[in-house]
Amino acid sequence: QVQLVESGGGLVQAGGSLRLSCAASGRTFSNYVMGWFRQAPGKEREFVAVISRSGGDTAYADSVKGRFTISRDNAKSTVYLQMNSLKPEDTAVYYCAAARLYYIRSPTTEADFGSWGQGTQVTVSS
């Protein structure tokens, strides 16, 4: 399995921006579809965004579409989540995950992802 380490979380005011990073190691990064999920207090973990192996195909949850952008740099074995226009309801622990898939599945579900990072806290104040 690939090992994943997230970074970039923190406290930000509503309307602000954060960029999360997820560094991968242990396997060939470009062999994995990469995703971001989040879990708010008292809620189940939910899908946020996913990106194909090459980076040419992406998909987003409706709640973040137009505000968040997922990208990847296969040379650096890193996936990113640029989060703009943040809202208090975006507050959650954000996890990156890796899936041994050839392409993005729709819908994207947790069950497809076999490797997970430890999570990074994002808190958006109103």
In degrees and rounded to multiples of 5, residue 66 shows phi and psi of 90, -15
Over range 35-40, report the average pLDDT. Answer: 98
The pLDDT of residue 27 is 84
Q: Model confidence over 40-99: pLDDT tens digits? A: 999 999 999 999 999 999 999 999 999 999 999 999 999 999 999 999 999 999 999 999
Beta strands 120-125; 92-99: pairing state: antiparallel
**Residue with tokens 């062999």, as numbered in its chain:** 31
Six-digit token pair at 94?
């954000």
pLDDT at residue 18 above 90?
yes
Distance CA 32, CA 54 (A): 9
pLDDT at residue 1 above 90?
no
Six-digit token pair at 16?
């602000």
pLDDT at residue 107 above 90?
no
Distance CA 71, CA 26 (A): 20
Beta strands 10-13; 120-125: pairing state: parallel
SS3 percent helix, strand, coil of the chain, rounded to 5, is 5, 50, 45
Indicate the pLDDT class of residue 17, thresholds 50, 70 and 90.
very high
Q: Model confidence over 23-34: pLDDT tens digits? A: 999 889 999 999
